[in-house]
């Protein structure tokens, strides 16, 4: 889902960007007058951003990381075609194979979503 990473600090944080296009697969067979990105898709994109901060660490190179869960997700608005979204995830704790992070999604500098994420590495 992520278009590109803007910054990755191994074991610390990651930033990424996504330009929402009307051609996204999740808009197929939808009426063009009310296209809204499903919120689970946005959470998955946030999780992909956090995983980049984990898998860029030498000790996790070549491993698999998974989105393990979410708590306290708050959305302020919906996402639509034409939006340029920035994802930022800061890792709060990473011990053995479990990680905790806090992620945000911003649009035009305004925070639209924030959530606490759980990651698992195998």
Instruction: Write out pLDDT tens, residues 70-100.
Output: 988 999 999 999 999 999 999 999 998 999 9
Confidence of residue 112 (pLDDT cuts 50, 70, 90): very high
- Domain coverage including residue 19: 4-121
The total of structural domains in the chain comes to: 1
Rounded to an integer, the average pLDDT of 89-115 is 95
pLDDT at 22 > cutoff 90: no
Q: Which residues in 105-119 are b (16+ Cβ under 10 Å) and which e?
A: bebeeeebbbbebbb
Residues with Cβ < 8 Å from 56, sequence gap 6 or more?
A: 8, 10, 11, 14
Here the CATH number for the domain that contains residue 73 is: 3.10.129.10
Q: Give pTM, 2 decimals.
A: 0.92
pLDDT of amino acid 23? 86
Report the 10 Å Cβ neighbour count for 97. Answer: 15
């Amino acid at each position: 889902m992520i278009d590109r990473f803007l910054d990755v600090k191994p074991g610390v944080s990651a930033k990424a960007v996504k330009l929402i296009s009307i051609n996204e697969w999740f808009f197929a067979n939808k009426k063009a007058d009310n296209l809204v990105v499903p919120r689970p898709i946005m959470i998955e994109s946030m999780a992909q951003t956090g995983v980049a901060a984990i898998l860029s660490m030498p000790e996790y190179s070549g491993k698999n990381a998974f989105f393990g869960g979410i708590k306290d997700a708050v959305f302020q608005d919906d996402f639509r075609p034409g939006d340029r979204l920035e994802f930022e995830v800061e890792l709060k704790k990473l011990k053995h194979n479990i990680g905790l992070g806090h992620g945000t999604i911003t649009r035009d500098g305004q925070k639209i979503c924030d959530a606490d994420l759980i990651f698992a590495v195998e």
